[in-house]
Every structure is written in structure tokens, then in C-alpha cells.
Amino acid sequence: MASKSVEHSCCESESCCEAETKPKTSKENLWQSPWIPIVLSFVILFTAILAEEQMPFNVLGVNGWLFVYLFAYSFVGFPVLKTAWKLIRKGEVFTEFFLMGIATIGAFAIGEYPEGVAVMLFYTIGELLQHSAVSKAKNNIQALLDIRPDQARVIKAGNSSLVEPELVKTGEIIEVRAGEKVPLDAQLLSNGGTFNTAALTGESLPAEIKEGEEVLAGMVNLQDLISLRVLRPFEESSLQKIIFTVQEATSKKAKTEQFIRKFAKVYTPIVTYLALALVIIPYFIVEDYLFRDWLYRALVFLVISCPCALVISIPLGYFGGIGAASRKGILFKGSNFLDSITTINTVLFDKTGTLTSGIFSVEKVESLSNASADWTELAASVEANTNHPIGQAIVRHIKSKLSPVDSLKEFPGKGLEGQVNSRRVLVGNSLLMEDYGILLPSLVTDPNKTAIYCAIDGVLCGYFVLADELKPDAKEAFTSLRRLGIQQLLILSGDKREVVDALGKELKADEAHGGMLPEEKYAKIEALKKDPKNVVAFVGDGINDAPSIALADVGIGMGGMGSDLAIESADIVIQTDQPSKVAMAFKIGKATKTIVWQNIALAFIVKFLVLSLGAAGLAGMWEAVFADVGVALLAILNAIRINYLFK
């Protein structure tokens, strides 16, 4: 099948695609279904085969059943001939439509009427099933459109009104009732909620989201009425980005797919000339040469050689891979990256926001003997006035009622000073305490944790020990990648070396490098890539990760909490922010590649065998139909199998 004619396959035929051009009533669907011509052709063909021997008749000296077979042929053959003619006028002569047209017309010319109709009939059935399979694969991708909410309930001055999500502005308040989809990315204002995120992430378990956390468009509210504040316009929502990314992905072809399309453009004219040679050359070398016999062999050769199985099933395999990945919250920005990920043998991870949540939690609170009883509440009162993740973690940990802060002074990179109930409260790291001359006991410091101290009126009262939480599936990610054959797993982070070393040991990484600047991460990837044996993937989420993501052979971005620049630079986006989905992306890529190459092997082996038999006169039109349509259908069934492997 030639390159362009693949897109034309079936859809150039009015009988195949008319059903998609406009909405139809059920009655119109019945009579305009593309299956109606096929059914009519089959009934007429079957009737003619049964009746021809019993009731022979002539019309104008010609076998009268010829006209019946032509009538059966017209339903399935004329649309194909029409398409072939259109493509010939465009300069595309050697297409599968041309091959089938020549083969079936030739069959009629030598009196093989039933076979001429049967070949075109089964070819049309195969094309229709191929078209249906491709449409289903694309529809699985386009199913994302079905989760796009149609309206948003905006609250203004105590009144609610339904508007299109595209018209809602950032900062507006919306409400979502139980069972409704969240229309835009928003911050949860209610106490908490439970959401079905399956449409976005593929996760079957409901997600618990707390007050102040982000809720994404497309999630379904499972509990009571909730209120949300819109964070970004609809066109910038996570859902809209997913839809756009997946739609764009289908236009970026894998190398295998590009090669097969180019191959088909060369292959089709070659087999046409070989078929012609199969008629002419034997005339000079075969003693009992019969033109009819050798023409029949050539026609069989043409039917067998049609490359439909290759050119349809291969893109179908990639469509399936992209669709399966999107349902798991993994966005491949092109089928070429489904191929590329299978070659990776070295994976580098950023730490904060990638392997860890980027959300600090208080692990321990230590009070000194001379501490004020309320020092933790005073510290939390001061930290409540900052958006820093450490301050937010302290506020979350201290559940007591907070006091108002009369004055507040911030020291970037050190901490805060505030006046609370006429008391001077210092909350910060060791640098802030040193600036105020407050001595810290040596036993307080823990190199693998973050210590935040609190002093009241110049007296050290105690400290908080905080840590960035390791994502629950980080260990699973490393274990799964090892099982998939990844040879090197590295962690690159700007965090303290001691912290990164400890994390590397916990995850059993081959290397763990802390204290790295963005340019140092970039240099590390460059150094690895100088060795041609290393094929590198980098997984990150921050703005500073974007250069490394772009440099890697495959860049993987964490799309939930990640920066826009990192996501834009990435070839693959993990929408759920789960590192274990990196391993899932590898699995889907490998499964897709396996299925594609299975289809290539199946098509070549069967076609080669039947071509050889056809050239030797040992295979007829029926075997040719199997080699063409049968192999195509087997390849299609194999291609759609990926949808069931990753449900």
C-alpha cells in the first residue's frame, strides 16, 4: 500500500465512509450502512454459484451468469475501481486499489467470474474491518473528549449559573455536585473530597483530596457538594493538555512505521512488474505455455502481494499503544517515542517532586527543658504567614488554634521573625539562630533531615525535624525498571549530598549525586551520552530539569505537579506524578514494539510462502484471499490485543 493510499484505504470509498460524513437517523443508518453492499454482493454471489450449474443460459452468445456476477461485483468492486482511478489521476498508480482492480478484472477476462467477485468481496470486508479497527483505536484516544465537561456552575453573589468552561475566569468560584465532573483545574475550598480519577490516571481507587489541594478537570466528585477556586483557564487545564498531546502524538510516526510506508511505495510497483514478468517470461522458456494459466498465476500473485496487512496493522499497533498509555495517565508525544523508550538502558531521576513528594512533613518535635509550653503554637502562628513548604508542614502538624501576628519579618533562606502577643518569635534554620547569637546543641543537627528551630525572646525552646516524603511507589519504580533490564539507575539532585546518598541507598540506585546545579546535571547526561552504549532517559519535574529532559534520548516529565517548561520539554509525560508509571511506560513501549514486529513477521512469512506457491501454480485465488485479507485480519486482531494487556 502506498504512503498516501493508506489514509485513503476504505475512506476513499464512499460506501465505506459515507456513514461518517453526517449524523443519520436509525433508518438511514440501516440503509446506508457500508455493510449493505457487502451483504447484497455475497447473497447474489452465493446464489449464482449454486444456480449456475443447474440453470445455464446464454445472452447474445455470452454466458448469461456473467451479468449476474458483474451485478454482484458492482456493489463491492466499483467503489474500489473508482478510488483506484482517482489515485491514478493524482499520479499514484501502484496502490492496493490498483492491484485489486487489475486482479479481479483479469479474473473476469479469463472466465473466473466467481473468484473475481469473491476476491473483491473479501478484500472489501477486510478493508472495512481494518477501517473499523483503526477507528476504534483512534476513538479510544478520542474518548478523552468524552470526559471533557460541558458546563461549569459558577457562583457569583450567592447565585449559581451554568456557563461553558471556556468562559470561566481564573479566580472565580465554582461548585460541583456529587456525581458531576470537575470542569476546570481548581483549588479545593471545601474541607475535603473524594474523587474518581480513572479517566485521567487510569487508577480505579478513588483519590482523597484535602482542602487547599488541587483538583484537576475531568475528575468526578464522589461525595457532597464542593466549592473550588479556578486556578487556570480551560485551555490551559491539565485535561485540555492531555487531549492536545494525545491528538498530536498520532501524527508523529515511529521509524518502523515510516520505513514500512516507504517500503510499500517501492514494494507495490515491484510486485506489479513481477506479475507482468510471470506472464511474459514463461512464453520463452516453457514448452507447453498456456497464456490463460500463466495469467491466472500472475493475478493470484497480485492478490497475494497486496501490503494491506503491513501498512494498516502497524499504525494500528502504535495507536493502541498510545491509547493504552493515555488510559494509564502516561502521555507519549508521538509513536516514535514508543519505539525510543525500548532502547533505553540508563535512567536518571531528579529527586524532589519526582521520587519524593516535594511536600515536607514533620517527623519529630523536640522541646528543651526551659521551653515555653506554647512554643509550638507560637512557631506555627508565625509560619502561617508564609507559603514556604516547610512553614506549611509545621502549620499542618500543629493543630492548636493559632494566634494573630502583630509584625513579621522574613529572612530569605533563613526563616522568620514575628511579634506574637508581645513576644518575639524566631523560627528558622541554624543560620537565623547564629545571626541572633543563639547557640545550638550539637546533638540537635541531623545531616539527613531538615531542622527548624524556634526561639522565644532570645531563648531556644525546641526544634522541628522535617523530611521530604518519599513517594510510596518510588521503590516499586526502581524494582520494576531493574526487572525490565535497565542497567543503570541514577539519582541527580540539588539537595544535600547526605540526603541524596541516603535516598540512593534506600532505593538501591547505582549512583546518587547531591548538591548538583542544573548545568551539572546537564553535564552528567552529556558525559553518559559520549559512550554510545548508553541510551539515556531523564525523569524530572522542575524548571531546572528542562535542559536535562531535552538533552536526554528520552525526556520524561512529571505532569501533575511539574513545571510547564519541564512538561513542554518532555517526550513522555507522567500525568499522575507516580514514578512507578515510568516503568509502566517502558512496559507499554516494549509490548507495542513486540506486537508491531510480530505483525511484520506474520505478514512477510505468510505472503512469501503463498507467493511462492502462487508463482508455481499451487495456490489459487482462495489462497490468495487468505494471504491478503486473512493475514491482515490476524494482524489487526494482534494489534488491538495491547488494549487488553493494559486495561
- Taking the C-alpha atoms of residue 149 and residue 151, their distance in angstroms, rounded to an integer, is 6
Q: What share of the chain is helix, strand, coil (3-state, %, to 5)?
A: 55, 20, 30
Q: Is residue 130 a contact partner of residue 13, using CB atoms and an 8 Å limit?
A: no
Q: Among 441, 536, 424, which Cα is nearest to 490's? A: 536
Q: Among 343, 325, 345, which Cα is nearest to 249's? A: 325
Q: Among 68, 75, 79, which Cα is nearest to 108's? A: 68
Q: Is residue 629 a contact partner of residue 123, using CB atoms and an 8 Å limit?
A: yes
Grid coordinates representing 175?
461548585
Answer yes or no: 564 catalytic: no
Sheet holding 407-411, edge to edge: 356-367, 459-470, 450-456, 423-428, 415-420, 407-411
Secondary structure (DSSP) of 65-130: HHHHHHHHHHHHHHHHHHHHHHHHHTT--SSHHHHHHHHHHHHHHTT-HHHHHHHHHHHHHHHHHH
Q: Among 147, 321, 142, which Cα is nearest to 238's? A: 147
The pair phi, psi for residue 17, each rounded to 5°, is -115, -5
* Half-sphere exposure in the Cβ direction for 624 (13 Å, CA): 31
Residues in the chain: 647
- Taking the C-alpha atoms of residue 569 and residue 555, their distance in angstroms, rounded to an integer, is 7
Q: Is residue 16 a contact partner of residue 131, using CB atoms and an 8 Å limit?
A: yes
What is the three-class DSSP state of 270? helix
Q: Among 408, 371, 404, 370, which Cα is nearest to 386's? A: 408
User: How far from chain centre, in Å, is Cα 19?
Assistant: 28
Q: Among 488, 210, 502, 247, which Cα is nearest to 356's? A: 502
What is the three-class DSSP state of 45? helix
- Taking the C-alpha atoms of residue 369 and residue 375, their distance in angstroms, rounded to an integer, is 12
Other CB atoms closer than 10 Å to residue 144's CB: what's the count?
A: 22
The Cα angle at residue 635 between residues 632 and 639, in degrees rounded to 5: 135
Secondary structure (DSSP) of 272-333: HHHHHHHHHTHHHH-TT--HHHHHHHHHHHHHHH--HHHHHHHHHHHHHHHHHHHHTTEEES
- Taking the C-alpha atoms of residue 205 and residue 49, their distance in angstroms, rounded to an integer, is 58
Residue of 339, 350, 495, 541 marked catalytic: 350
Q: Is residue 213 a contact partner of residue 188, using CB atoms and an 8 Å limit?
A: yes
For the annotated catalytic residues, the residue numbers are 350
